Amino acid sequence: MKPAVLTGKHFINGDVACAEGAIAAGCKFFGGYPITPATEVAEHISERLPDVGGTFIQMEDEIAAMTSILGAAWTGAKTMTSTSGPGFSLMMETVGLAVVTETPCVVVNVQRAGPSTGLPTQGAQGDMMQAKWGSHGDYEIIAIAPSSPQEMFDFTIIAFNLSEKYRTPVFIMSDEIVGHMSEKVVIPKPSKIKTISRKKPKGPKNKFKLYKPDADGVAPMPAIGDGYKVHVTGLTHDEIGYPVMSIEAQEEMMTRLLGKIRNNIDDIIMTEQYLLDDADIVIVSYGVSSRTSYTAVDMAREKGVKAGLLRLITVWPFPDALIKELAQRVKGFITVEINLGQICREVQRCAGTDIPSYLAGHAGGAVVPPEDVLSIIKENF
Amino acid sequence: MKATAAKPLPHPMEDLIRMDRIPHIWCSGCGTGSVFMACLSAIKESGIPYNEFSMVSGIGCSGRGAGYINVDSFHTTHGRAIPFATGIKMAKPDLNVIVFSGDGDLFAIGGNHFIHAARRNMDITVICVNNLIYGMTGGQVAATTPHKAKSSTTAAGNPETPFNLPLLAYASGATFVARWTMLHSRDIADAVQMALNNKGFSFIEVLSPCPINYGRRNKEKALETLRLYHDNTIIKSNADLSELDIDFKRGVVLGNFINKEKPSHDEQYSKIYHAEAG
């Protein structure tokens, strides 16, 4: 029986690192369904969860996998599932339920090229807009993009922490390349790993309101059996959690749901900047594409072009203010991503039409070579 | 003359009902409330603390059950009550998890989840209020609608054949299988008690009228349906499950058909994984 935190240096792939990150974060339940290239997350965590008294189940499909982690989350457990594009599509129904019932959980999407069955064994970043808009109705979501096996470990812990803190599903938007890449992963001592658990309610049980928020906009969450006798519904509900079919209740609930993310973006949004201070051209990227983007910046600098990198660690919520601010002082943007222009649209939306904004991307199956970024610079700047 | 209004007697199930949510949404003549009450009496009579129960529903008329019971309760998405309940049960196996939902929810959109939970022998109790139709959406054909019966999407009669639910449950691996009608309150309560005591996947089908959306279209008045439940049913617990098709002309068979012992999923998982890990 192994401990929860396997302190030391390991040579493992991104999927395995993600599973180890989940265990280190305190994950106790995983409902999964096999899919390339995410299967190794489920395989590894199925072995590891019993070590920490946790439970694994392989469900009959991704709908069931995603739904099972919500049920388990209400027993007080930290829960996760993993998938890729086709399974992510099936999970979207339950993502909405997780958002509206404010159920913390983590969903790992090891992206492959789509649409439909696409290229199952080859990487892409084509599910970025689905992560934001895939379930019906308005909602805010948190999505994090790791670029290495080390970050698959580290960011999985961050994902659990954000999920617990804000009572919301959090997506880890990985991809086949990072998922299947093996690299050194350093796992710190347990005392060096910061974990957050959901707030539990205090005070008299008979006066408890399931969705009455604290000052941070997030309500404490009891577990089944704690004696709070909660009612949880996907219908529009009031602070008690009871269904209310009115425009006013919908407005009130949605304002708070969106607000709890929007009012805390400074705490949630994480970016990395490389040579951005004096940059004329801003390369925006995330996940595996940010790795090749560092090289692109260096290559451009060697040619005397002042390029800099804005790497999005959290892609959702999107850093609107930062892009708007950069647009005031740079000559243009190039978004590097393995799709045909998803986050590029967001950059254009924030930067406005007065400033040129280009995509260095393709339809999926491999990384975007830094030379593609250089060509865009050469042709346009 | 000064009238002295008698203080109304408290509802016998007041401690198990969210009284602040009453009146409920169920129509006059609907049987769901009777099934729900029978289920609550079984919970009450079990003597198990209420905090050790959880109820999960899907979507539909009977799916509102979770909204009225005063235990930790979950009104989930359409068809997904069973996988939600599975997550609860696996993460906290000591809980008694009851799924209270309808035939459309459990056997059309949720059919895959039903057969797999039964196959795994997941230790949950599934109560299906079977009104032979999609009630809440206005009377569309269901996976349980009798052949040739009329619905809003089969105006000239249902061309399909309905499921035999007890047979399906048994074939999928359920360790407790029963069928009653909503008239058989005592029998439903007894069946729920037996289901709670059965360490495995328990299934109780309860026939229940939908006079608004099934009865009206099929020339069957509310009381006539109840009369069929009374007169044209046969209690036969040792029945051949393959002969359980719903045909009131031939007689509909009721009973507690299966009640067997088989290790449940959480027992097996714990034995294989946690025992070794420990």
Please answer yes or no on whether B50 and A229 come within 8 Å at the CB atom: yes
Q: What is the pLDDT of residue B278?
A: 46
Average pLDDT rounded to a whole number, residues A351-369:
97
> Cis bond leading into A115, ω under 30°?
yes
Q: Which residues of chain B have a CB within 8 Å of the CB of A225?
A: 51-52, 54, 72, 92, 95
Average pLDDT rounded to a whole number, residues B24-31:
96
For residues A56 and A164, membership in a common domain is answered with yes
> Of the candidates B191, B190, B183, B189, which has an alpha carbon nearest to the alpha carbon of residue B231?
B183
pLDDT digits (tens, 9 = 90+) for A199-212: 999 989 989 999 99
Is residue A250 one of the residues assigned to a domain?
no
Q: What is the pLDDT of residue B2?
A: 61
pLDDT digits (tens, 9 = 90+) for A35-88: 999 999 999 999 999 999 999 999 999 999 999 999 999 999 999 999 999 999
Is residue A135 one of the residues assigned to a domain?
yes
The domain boundary, picked from A127, A159, A192, lies at A192
pLDDT at residue B271 is higher than 60: yes
Q: What is the rounded distance in angstroms from the CA atom of residue A149 to the CA atom of residue A12?
A: 7
Q: What is the rounded distance in angstroms from the CA atom of residue A176 to the CA atom of residue A125?
A: 9
The number of residues making up chain B comes to: 278
The domain boundary, picked from A158, A192, A226, lies at A192
| Domain span including residue A359 | 274-380
Q: What are the tokens at A110?
A: 């090891």
Kindly indicate whether the ipTM for this predicted assembly is greater than 0.95, answering yes or no.
Answer: yes
Is residue B117 one of the residues assigned to a domain?
yes
Nearest chain A residue (CA) to B275: A50
pLDDT digits (tens, 9 = 90+) for A113-132: 999 999 999 999 999 999 99
Q: What is the pLDDT of residue B275?
A: 85
DSSP state string for A324-341: HHHHTT-SEEEEEESSSS
Mean pLDDT of chain A: 98
Helix (H, G, I), strand (E, B) or coil at A123: strand
For residues A179 and A281, membership in a common domain is answered with no
Q: What is the rounded distance in angstroms from the CA atom of residue B272 to the CA atom of residue A145?
A: 36
pLDDT digits (tens, 9 = 90+) for B68-90: 999 999 999 999 999 999 999 99
Q: What is the rounded distance in angstroms from the CA atom of residue B55 to the CA atom of residue B70?
A: 9
Is residue A240 one of the residues assigned to a domain?
no
Of B50, B52, B72, the CB nearest to A230: B72
Burial label for B185, CB within 10 Å (0-12, 13-18, 19+), is middle
Q: What is the rounded distance in angstroms from the CA atom of residue A21 to the CA atom of residue A158?
A: 9
Is residue A263 one of the residues assigned to a domain?
no
pLDDT at residue A257 is higher than 70: yes
Q: What is the rounded distance in angstroms from the CA atom of residue B199 to the CA atom of residue B188?
A: 18
Q: What are the tokens at A53?
A: 């008294």
Element of type H or E holding A309: strand A307-312
For residues A62 and A179, membership in a common domain is answered with yes
- DSSP strands (E only) in A124-226: 142-144, 169-175, 182-187
- DSSP strands (E only) in chain B: 53-57, 72-75, 96-102, 125-130, 176-181, 202-207, 233-235, 252-259
Mean pLDDT of chain B: 96
**CATH code where residue A130 lies:** 3.40.50.970
Please answer yes or no on whether B86 and A64 come within 8 Å at the CB atom: yes
Q: What is the rounded distance in angstroms from the CA atom of residue A209 to the CA atom of residue A205?
A: 9
Q: Give the Cβ contact number of residue A192 at 10 Å.
A: 9
Is residue B84 one of the residues assigned to a domain?
yes
Classify A218 in phi/psi space as left (phi over 0), alpha (psi -120 to 50) or beta.
beta
Q: Which residues of chain A have a CB within 8 Å of the CB of B89?
A: 71
Q: What is the pLDDT of residue B3?
A: 63
The domain total for chain A is 2
The domain boundary, picked from A142, A168, A192, lies at A192
Of B72, B74, B116, the CB nearest to A225: B72
pLDDT at residue A340 is higher than 80: yes
**CATH code where residue B54 lies:** 3.40.50.970
- List the single range of A347-356, B2-11, B108-117, B262-271 with lowest mean pLDDT: B2-11
| Domain span including residue B156 | 29-277
**Pairing status of strand B176-181 against strand B202-207:** parallel
Q: How many angstroms from the chain centroid is the CA of residue A135?
A: 15
Please answer yes or no on whether B74 and A74 come within 8 Å at the CB atom: yes
* CB half-sphere exposure, A112, CA atoms < 13 A: 20
Q: Are the C-beta atoms of A135 and A93 separated by less than 8 Å?
A: yes
For residues A21 and A114, membership in a common domain is answered with yes
List residues in chain B touching A: CB distance below 8 A.
18, 20-21, 50-52, 54, 56, 66-67, 70-77, 80, 82-92, 95, 112-113, 116, 269, 273-274, 276-278
Q: What is the rounded distance in angstroms from the CA atom of residue A158 to the CA atom of residue A168?
A: 13
Q: Give the Cβ contact number of residue A335 at 10 Å.
A: 29
Burial label for A82, CB within 10 Å (0-12, 13-18, 19+), is buried
Average pLDDT rounded to a whole number, residues B149-160:
98
**CATH code where residue A282 lies:** 3.40.50.920
Q: Are the C-beta atoms of B254 and B234 separated by less than 8 Å?
A: yes
Q: Are the C-beta atoms of B74 and B34 separated by less than 8 Å?
A: no
